[in-house]
Structure 1
Amino acid sequence: MDVLSWTRNIAFQLVINGALSVDTFFVLSGFLTAVLFVRQVEKEGKLSFRLMFLYYIHRYIRLTPTFLLMVLVSINLTPYLGHGPVYPTQQGFEPTGCRTQYWWTSILYIGNLVKSDSMCLGVSWYLHNDMQFHWIAPFALIPFVIGRKSLSFLFTILLVLIGIGSILTIVLYYSEMPLGSLAAFTATDGPTLWKTVYIKPWCRVSAYAIGMLTGYFVINAGRQYRINKCTKFFGTVFVVLIGLACLFVTYP
């Protein structure tokens, strides 16, 4: 009996595709970046070099020390934190490439782009993506605060289309790549969903851009905007249906 057969039934799609929920955090990040950036410019009264310098350096300083500490702990201590026949006691949970050559990609937040097989602290793919989106966000935010809102909207919508188009292109090109099973994240040979889609910024940027678009809407609407109950209800139903479609579309 195939002990993993249960991973191929329709109910398991709720688990394997539940990883898509991370897009929620990209949406929130894009939303907060847009709103806070615009508010900071309004507070200071102008867009300045100082503001832009702090925009980039503050986030890097806030995240990097803790992140690198976790990487060092994972590299050096995880070999001693467990025991058992399948526990990786020789090198812990980090690949050899991380420990010997490509640790520097974590400092630059490009581990998802350069030798992703050797990326330190695998879950840090999210930090890499979020930082990369933070780097490019001003290309849309600066036009917004200087009065070129249409240009800002166009650039952000372009990011949404890039994200959608990248996923479709890759999935169609690698037509044999597993999508809705455990192999989508555990396979090591050939192109995998993890390496070609899941951790790549051009495939994840659409969620961040949608968050930014939501931020633009909130900024323009102000605090006086109200949504009636009927719109809230049908909007919620529509969103739930879209979410379920995303979860089950890759089955079988």
Structure 2
Amino acid sequence: MSINEKKRVAKHTVRSFRHSHISTNNKQKSDIKAVNGVDNAAYNHSISKEDLSNGDMKVHKNGELSNGFTDLEKATNGEISPDKAPYKPGIPEKLLLSFSVYTNAPKILNTNQPKGTLTSVNGIRFLSMTWVILDMYMSLENQKQFSYVLTLNTFIFVDNLATFIPQIAKRFTFQAIMNATLSVDTFFVLSGLLVSYLSLREMKKRGGALKFNWLLFYFHRYWRLTPPYMLLLMLYVPTFKYWAYGPFWPQTGLDVNECKDTWWTNLLYINNVYKADKQVRIKCVKNNFSEFSSWSYCMEWGWYLANDMQFYVISPFMLVPLYYEHSVRLFVKYYVVILLYADISEIITYTNRLNPSVFCIYVATDIEMHFNNNLLISSQDQTVGMKLYIKPWNRVGPYVVGFFTGYILYKTECKVKMSKVVNLVGWSVATAMAVSVLYGLYTSDGSPPDFSNSVSALYNATSRTAWGLSVAWVIFACATGYGGPVNALLSWRGIIPLSRLTYCAYLVHPLVIYVYIFSRRTMMHWYDLEMIYLFLGHLCVSYAAAFLLSLAFECPMIGLEKVLLGRKKNS
């Protein structure tokens, strides 16, 4: 029998099988892909009797049966009828899946978000994190004054510090780096806004504050922040001294006594208030040049987490009145809170007779240089910077601004009508305030402005709250449909995965830069292109490390909470 005759016989057999075993609907006709497969010899499987019982042919998903019928073009009426219900993992399986990289990685990289999400927050969060990383590497801080752990001793490894720093300090654009500590205030605004907006919506959904699960409210926050924080601390503190080697490598690690006396303050989020003003000397290598000062509390950049948790703890005292009271009375109360915060900062500035931006740098040649910065430093009293910078009563202003902004968005449901004039005035005022705070201390020679004690106190008391108001306007305008191209940029879906990694990036980025700085074999020589490359490198490596940290520590904890408590993510 020839090949053509065999094909004709096969077609006739299939046609007979189709008419005898498949019932068709008068309104719909079946288009079965498997028939064509038999016709062109793509399927060489036999048909099992079990699948053809009762005169009907069951249709199966890919890989479920071995008879070759694969998703027969959604079968006779456009639907697939699986042979059995899909597998649903039980609690033990879900607990194991919480640690699955295969499951968690797509969740991090997913660009979808639920309805009602404030999408502009993603862009602000990511851009603020890049600003933090830029500041941490180039910030003008040194061992003879209050310092942040990351930039603690950057300058002792720079051979052209005495010429490069005065040169760039005269640039108007460099003020964005000098004053990059404002990036932390942006995070406080975001934190207050999201706590207020999401919690008030949940309270409304549940029918009031009395039906709101306050225990879960606190547990979720602690569970969300603490495991990655503590696991990273446990990993790096005792082992960092072994990560690399070199003439600058700290032989005893980064933290005093490997955090033996202070680790519990981080666990309780009180490391910004408990013995936080105590400073000790740490010796990296066997020479006085690499000897530096550090603050006695553990994982120094954790001061922000302590502030954020403390604000969160007291937030119900603001949430409940916001839910029940009228906005006019609440506005007065919140205005009083901000004034009290400003008064504390003003008192500290005035009593210590400090200028609003004195930033001291002592280089190896014992040359003392002062530059503009909105962070208050006193070369006479090194603890003043700590009193003003990391204490919660001095940083609550931007948080309150964000909190009240979230309340407005909740009350209006992000539906506000503004004329073009009002919108333009809002953007103009917000821009003017932001530029004034960021660039207002600039002088052509790079020296601090000659302000009186009263003006300095006023600046330190209001600058961070003014910055918070500017950020709050951007979020408000974008959420209500008046953001234009700014909202399009900040809400770009490609930023969403990077925004999810911001917390882990904050935790790990100091270690990334520390490894680079302390493992060097030679001194650094700074110039513009070098700094750009270093910044981009630190940014990419920090987010790559954050991705691994999130997969290892953060996502499993979120998955465990969802399985054990049945909590779903609402934003």
Fold in common (TM above 0.5): yes
Aligned match of 1:88 in 243, 250, 275? 250
For residue 422 of structure 2, what is the aligned residue in structure 1?
231
Q: After superposing the two structures, state which structure 1 stretch, 113-122 or 192-201, moved more.
A: 192-201
CA deviation digits over 1:94-135, x for unaligned, max 9? Answer: 233x61211110011010101223222111111111100001
Structure 1: gaps (5+ residues) = none
Q: After superposing the two structures, state which structure 1 stretch, 44-53 or 19-28, moved more.
A: 44-53
Aligned match of 2:412 in 209, 216, 221? 221
Aligned match of 2:311 in 107, 127, 133? 133
More helix by percentage:
1
- CA-based RMSD: 2.6
Q: Kindly name which structure, 1 or 2, has the bigger radius of gyration based on alpha carbons.
A: 2
Aligned match of 1:206 in 385, 397, 417? 397
The answer as to 2:206 corresponding to 1:44 is yes
Aligned equivalents of 1:82, 1:175: Cα separation in 2: 43
| 8 Å CA contact retained: 2:360, 2:379 | no
Question: For 1:107-186, what aligned pairs fall within 5 Å after superposition?
Answer: 107-116=267-276, 117-147=295-325, 149=327, 152-176=330-354, 179-181=357-359, 183=361
State the one-letter code of the partner of 1:93.
L
Secondary structure in 2 aligned to 1:86? coil
CA deviation digits over 1:30-89, x for unaligned, max 9? Answer: 111111111111111122376111111110111111111121123112112232322212
Offset of residue 166 of structure 1: 2.0
Aligned equivalents of 1:217, 1:76: Cα separation in 2: 46
| Closer, same or farther: CA 155–107 of 1 in aligned 2, 3 Å | farther
State the one-letter code of the partner of 2:349.
V
Offset of residue 150 of structure 1: 5.0
Aligned equivalents of 1:174, 1:72: Cα separation in 2: 38
Offset of residue 245 of structure 1: 1.7
Structure 2: gaps (5+ residues) = 1-160, 277-294, 362-374, 443-447, 449-571
- Answer 1 or 2: higher relative contact order, Cα 8 Å, separation at least 6: 1
Offset of residue 5 of structure 1: 3.0
Aligned equivalents of 1:10, 1:164: Cα separation in 2: 30
| Closer, same or farther: CA 224–243 of 1 in aligned 2, 3 Å | closer
Offset of residue 194 of structure 1: 3.8
CA deviation digits over 1:148-205, x for unaligned, max 9? Answer: 6555434432332232222222122222467342556898862356412111111110
| 8 Å CA contact retained: 1:41, 1:47 | yes
